[in-house]
A and B are shown apart, each in its own frame.
Chain A
Amino acid sequence: MAQNRQYCTFYLGDLFFGVEVENVQEVFKYQEMTRVPLAHSVVRGLINLRGQIITAIDLRARLGMDELPDGKLPMNVVVRTEEGVVSLLVDKIAEVLEVSEDNFERPPDTIDEITRELVLGVYKLENKLLLTLDTEKTVRLGPPVSMAGEV
């Protein structure tokens, strides 16, 4: 039997994403942020997480997706990475899923470049697809100029 992995899942629009559970420190609802002028365009701000200051990255912007519709507030998925603890802003947090490696496939070449860069692969679930995110690449932003999105 193939190995099973656990993913913390969330939605961005109608896309279903997952981050390996071991990399997730915690999830919490929207919290007010302090914006950072001059920062990379995908950085939404700084959050006080029990005395720890963490950077929030707008995952929609990072993946080149449209902004969240007005009035809707994102939620935080806090991931541990080599670059430190970072919060990824997502639309809605879903359950923790255990998936089988048998259903794994590399991302197809037809999806846009930025998504292909940041998505490790796709799990074919019964009624939907789970895209797994490369958190390390996601939080590595490079020089503070707008780069994400316009692909």
Chain B
Amino acid sequence: MDKNSKPDSDLLKGMEPVAPDMTPDPINKDQTEADTEVSSVDNSEDMSGMDDIINEFIVESYENLDQLDQDLVGLEKNPGEVSILSSIFRTIHTIKGTCGFIGFSKLESVAHVGENLLSKLRDGALTLDPPITSALLAMVDAIRQMLSCIEKSQNEGVVDYSELIETLTTLQKGESAKIAPAPTETSSVEKSEEIVPVAQDEQSAQILVPESKSKKEDSPAKPAEPNGGVERKQEVRSMADTNIRVDVTLLDQLMNLVGELVLARNQILQFSSKGQDAGFLATTQHLNLVTTELQEGVMKTRMQTIGNVWSKFPRVVRDLAASCGKKIRLEMEGKETELDKTLIEAIKDPLTHIIRNSADHGIESPEDRKAAGKPEEGLLKLRAFHEGGQVNIEIIDDGRGINPEKIKEKALEKHLITPDQASRMSDHELVNLVFAAGFSTAEKVTNVSGRGVGMDVVKTNIEKIGGTVDIQSTYGEGTTLKIKIPLTLAIIPALTVMTGGDRYAIPQVNLLELVLLEGEQISKNVEFIKGAPVYRLRGHLLPLIYLSEELKVKKKDDNDKVNIVVLQADERQFGLVVEGVRDTEEIVVKPLSQQLKGIPAFSGATIMGDGKVALILDVMGLAQSARVVTQTRKRSRLESSEKGDEKATDKQTLLLFGIGEKGRMAIPLSMVARLEEFKQADIERSGNQDVVQYRGEIMPLIYLAKIFNGDTSYTEKETLQAVVYTKNGKSVALVADKILDIVEETITTKRASNRKGTLGTIVVQNLVTDLLDAEGIVREHDPTFFDNQPLATV
């Protein structure tokens, strides 16, 4: 940066306010070019939004000032050149406008008088003569001086420019004035050195290094505090020198190339694992390291924290709250969550809209809140985090929530759904109708939101970048809006699994652990509830999904191994059963083509080390279509609810268990509270009764084998399987020898039974099965069990 001009002047105290009598023409600097560029200005995480704005302002202004120097000199040669004058005028106008916005009043006032003078020149009221040129150049120097001060110490410095301002004002009035050169640097150093401690210098040095994590507590928005104004020769480089503006398309290209490089690296790694040449191996290792670092670096250039977008929301919310007479507290969590620049741009508008909506419609007036027993101040919370290879953004309010009934009415009224559909829809599905085109529930249209062109646009915009949006609301308690944006550009680590002879990649972020079951373990550990397989993972039930079934592909190797990939989707865990597990690899996520967009099971595709394509599994999508997570995605919603109807016939779900060698018994699943497994060691005795401690209570055990067969071999078993039967808060454990299956059957009693403890005999899966009389057995065992009293010690 050019800092060789060191004008001098006296240092005066106080700042003369400039009367805003001259309203300059609202000419704005052409911003279109700037819009397509990303400024690689310091992106360190702790940068507040304001810092970023100031940095951008400084970088931009320096560029403009360099241009201004040239322009002014050029103008002196061709005083009549209007285009140059206009350009100068615009530059100064932009600087003035931005500092007014950021709160640099001193800088603003200098720019303001300069602008006034320039407007006179431009309008032809004055002609440029050497005194005016000198004054303007002095002004440029003054601006530059203040900028460098701002850059170093976040304030405009202590130098007083009132004389310069006076000169400019006089000139503008058409009088020739004694040219007052801009204040001198040396004097400012002398003066300020007493005020400014050494720490000031350290701070400014930190600001100059973009990677530095220094926290600048004091807000730069505060107008000039009387310190700073220091300039030191040994200062390293200024912001404008350490930053360049780069076209985003160039970054895109670089990103693609790095993606290619990563793939090539993966291929070479595969070769090298076969090779013996030590030199080749070493080179490969090096290539590997360099590629990884390069990849990280390039990714970083495109990443921005979501705080960049959020920074304007406190103001938005404040203004809204004020205009609606509400009290709203805005909380933000996960500001530092980074996402790609293009995604940041894309979510800006939808987010603003959602926040306006929440503040306007969601949060009630203080009176209403009080009446509802809530604190007067409403809470609006923004959360952002990475999960499942996606960026999650949640907008949570504790407002009035959405009334599903009202939505239903509106949707019916607007013919968005048929009455038949409406009757089948869950509250959650109804609430999500707010995203339907042409839907607005606002009873009165405010100037803030509620014109019916709201949430559907939000949804479309988010879906455009491959994201999803979901709304959950409890009427009266609040609304949570969840946005998920995939990292389509990202390079992520992923686990490769095999199913049906094909490879699939699972993003590592979804992965919790791997479980391998072999031989006997399978039948022992995989149980079924209502036909759905579950696995007991350290005492917790893990629902299992077979990938081959989800993808409707034929299993290839039918070995006796079960590979369970334990995955996380939302707050739920589930096990994905695959046929084989390969290794983990860095993959480049490529979006799926238009023809394949509608498949919820896949989030993208990638090219593996051997150059072949593999699909990337969308863990969330799989979980949803397998109903691990309760709500299906909207697109499959109506179809699936129709399917569900067919099943609701007079079938009953039965739990089948074995007693003794051959005995098969069944109990309606509706009577089963839980299936449990108890260790022999945990069984205690109370009187002549075996009991276990279960969920803070003492639960008696009833051995069915003993009742039916007089068999007492259960004492030799290490673990016992039990059906927990609960009534009136009391539980007993019915110990079976073996839990067999859960089936859905139409119960046809073939023969009533007089055998004690059974209700009859039925045929299930072509086998004769006794229907257990659980109540009878329990009553027999403890006649007081069904009395509506708390459980006495048995």
Contacts and interface: CB of A to CB of B under 8 A. Distances in A.
Partners in one complex: yes
Interface of A: 32-40, 43, 45-48, 51-55, 57, 83-84, 86, 139-141, 143-144
Contacts of B611: 48
B598 A143 contact: yes
A99 B213 CA distance: 67
Interface of B is mostly: mixed
B615 interface: yes
Interface stretch (B19-27, B316-324, B588-596): B588-596
Contacts of A54: 593
Contact of B595 (A34, A40, A47): A40
A39 B599 contact: yes
Interface stretch (B484-492, B600-608, B779-787): B600-608
B246 interface: no
Interface residues of B, number: 28
Given A55-B595, A84-B593, A34 B612 contact: yes
A83 B551 CA distance: 25
Contact of A38 (B503, B551, B606): B551
Interface in B254-296: 256, 259-260, 263
B614 interface: yes
Interface of B: 256, 259-260, 263, 500, 502-503, 551-553, 590, 592-596, 598-599, 601-602, 605-607, 611-615
28 contacts: A32-B612, A34-B502, A34-B503, A34-B612, A34-B614, A34-B615, A36-B602, A36-B615, A37-B500, A37-B553, A37-B601, A38-B551, A39-B595, A39-B599, A40-B596, A43-B595, A46-B613, A46-B615, A48-B607, A48-B611, A53-B607, A53-B613, A84-B593, A84-B594, A86-B593, A139-B595, A144-B596, A144-B599
A36 B600 CA distance: 12
A79 to B, nearest CB: 12
Contacts of A34: 502-503, 605, 612-615
Contacts of B503: 34
A51 B615 contact: no
B362 to A, nearest CB: 34
Q: Pick the most buried of B553, B602, B605, B613: most chain A CB atoms within 10 A of its CB.
A: B613
Contacts of B606: 53
B263 A51 contact: yes
A24 B162 CA distance: 68
A36 B612 contact: no
Contacts of A43: 595-596
Nearest to B635: A143
Contacts of A48: 607, 611-613
A4 B553 CA distance: 48
Contacts of A57: 595
A46 B599 CA distance: 14
Contacts of A140: 594
A57 to B, nearest CB: 7
Contacts of A32: 612
Contacts of B612: 32, 34, 48
Nearest to B607: A48
A70 B570 CA distance: 46
B607 A141 contact: no
A54 B592 CA distance: 8
Q: Pick the most buried of A51, A52, A83, A144: most chain B CB atoms within 10 A of its CB.
A: A51
Given A36-B615, A47-B613, A55 B260 contact: no
A38 B607 contact: no
Given A48-B607, A48-B611, A51-B263, A39 B596 contact: yes
Given A38-B601, A55-B596, A83-B593, 5 more contacts: A37-B552, A51-B259, A53-B590, A83-B595, A139-B594
A144 B595 CA distance: 8
A-B pairs, 9 with minimum CB distance: A37-B551, A83-B594, A34-B613, A46-B613, A55-B593, A51-B260, A53-B605, A53-B590, A38-B599
A55 to B, nearest CB: 4
Nearest to B599: A38
B607 A51 contact: yes
A116 to B, nearest CB: 22
A37 B550 CA distance: 9
Contacts of A39: 595-596, 599
Q: Pick the most buried of A35, A37, A83, A140: most chain B CB atoms within 10 A of its CB.
A: A37
Contacts of B500: 37
A47 B598 CA distance: 19
B598 A144 contact: yes
A40 B602 CA distance: 14
A78 B599 CA distance: 23
A124 B263 CA distance: 47
Contacts of B259: 51
Contacts of A45: 613
B613 A86 contact: no
B593 A38 contact: no
A71 B131 CA distance: 90
A33 B502 CA distance: 11
Contacts of A37: 500, 502, 551-553, 601
A38 B599 CA distance: 7
Nearest to A81: B594
A5 B29 CA distance: 47
Nearest to B264: A51
A54 B553 CA distance: 22
Contacts of B599: 36, 38-39, 144
A144 B453 CA distance: 29
Q: Pick the most buried of B590, B595, B607, B615: most chain A CB atoms within 10 A of its CB.
A: B595
A35 B503 CA distance: 10
